[in-house]
Copies of this chain bind each other. A is one copy, B any other.
Amino acid sequence: MARVAIVGGAGYIGGELLRLLLGHPEAEVAAVTSTRLAGRRVDGAHPNLRGLTDLTFVDPGSLEEYDALFLATPHTETMGRMTGYAKIATTIFDLSADFRLRDPEVFRRYYGLPHEAVDLLPEFVLGLPELHRDRLRAADRVAVPGCMATAGILALRPAAAAGLIEPEVTIDARTGSSGSGATAGPENLHAERSGAMRVFAPTRHRHEAEIGQETGLSVRMSATGVEAVRGVQVLCRARLAPGADERAVRAAYRAAYAAEPFVRVVAQKRGLYRLPEPKILSGSNFCDVGFAADGERALVLVAALDNLVKGGAGNAVQCMNVRYGWPERAGLTFAGLHPN
């Protein structure tokens, strides 16, 4: 049994961590913080947890010592506090963007301010078991990647690694509204956001930096908010390398993900759900990955996941399972719903 704490527990990622960790056979949630709601019951902020817990939020200042700490705070809020957090927990899973990028210069370019803890950057392992499982087994500093980044990396990496595509790719990402967090502003008012197709990042979405770093590709990424609460989908366009075809792509993906507990290859020729789609993934830790080629060297790759689960909290729990040597599916067995 590991005693864990969640910082930023009143947010959407915090709430999802709570849902997953309360149901985890090996973890005990010892503390959940909220500045705003300290003293209040956690099921006030997260009504799905009614009847499952009597926990109340504590102020971040009153944290004690834990085996593991999950940071679900906004980006740029954790880098300055990491030294403090390191004093109260052995293992830290940071879900913010602060320690994902190895190069502080790239961080500055995408986040608009200098990194405040450059010396700590090398301690972090990117929390993507599909790429870094071995290093994660012993990692005490884990930087969990962004939701669209995880989708993009899992969509592109096998093709890139096998040399099946040329290095220039574009990504069109679509996302639900929970990606903006529980403290989103008027742009997320229901009457404005409902039914939207909002190209909020026509160029240079931040996650292109993470995807570039992990795949070695040169990535151009746009992002559009569409009608959904949960869910991210990326549609990637690449050019097949000379000699490559859809069949070779299928073989590479089948091989890369055969043993993965949470990646499924979905590239069907029939049926309604031929390519990955988030609506059947809500609540599940799956990332579905698929592709289609047009016969003229254009390859489209598609991935889908639940931004709060495989795109965040679930992936962090999977990393914890790897780190502690627990079964990788522990606490993550929910399959997703159809219809939904």
Docked complex Cα distance between A198 and B220 (Å):
22
A339 interface neighbour in B192, B202, B334, Cβ under 8 Å: B192
| Residues of B contacting A170 in the complex (Cβ-Cβ under 8 angstroms) | 170, 237
| Residues of B contacting A202 in the complex (Cβ-Cβ under 8 angstroms) | 235, 275, 291-292, 300, 302
Tell me whether A47 is interfacial, beta carbon within 8 Å: yes
| Residues of B contacting A326 in the complex (Cβ-Cβ under 8 angstroms) | none
Docked complex Cα distance between A182 and B231 (Å):
23
Nearest to A200 among chain B residues (CB) is B274
| Residues of B contacting A228 in the complex (Cβ-Cβ under 8 angstroms) | 195, 197, 227
Tell me whether A293 is interfacial, beta carbon within 8 Å: yes
Tell me whether A33 is interfacial, beta carbon within 8 Å: no
Docked complex Cα distance between A112 and B195 (Å):
34
Pair B266/A203 contact, Cβ less than 8 Å: no
> What is the count of identical protomers in the complex?
4
Pair A52/B335 contact, Cβ less than 8 Å: yes
Q: Which of A259-295 contact B (CB under 8 A)?
A: 264, 266, 270-275, 277-284, 286, 288, 291-294
17 contacts between A and B (CB under 8 A): A44-B270, A46-B338, A52-B335, A176-B191, A177-B190, A177-B191, A178-B339, A188-B190, A190-B193, A190-B194, A194-B339, A195-B228, A199-B302, A203-B294, A203-B300, A224-B233, A227-B227
Binding site for B on A (CB under 8 A): 12, 15, 19, 22-23, 44, 46-52, 170, 172, 174, 176-178, 180, 182, 184, 186-200, 202-204, 220, 222, 224, 226-231, 233, 235, 237, 264, 266, 270-275, 277-284, 286, 288, 291-294, 298, 300, 302, 304, 333-340
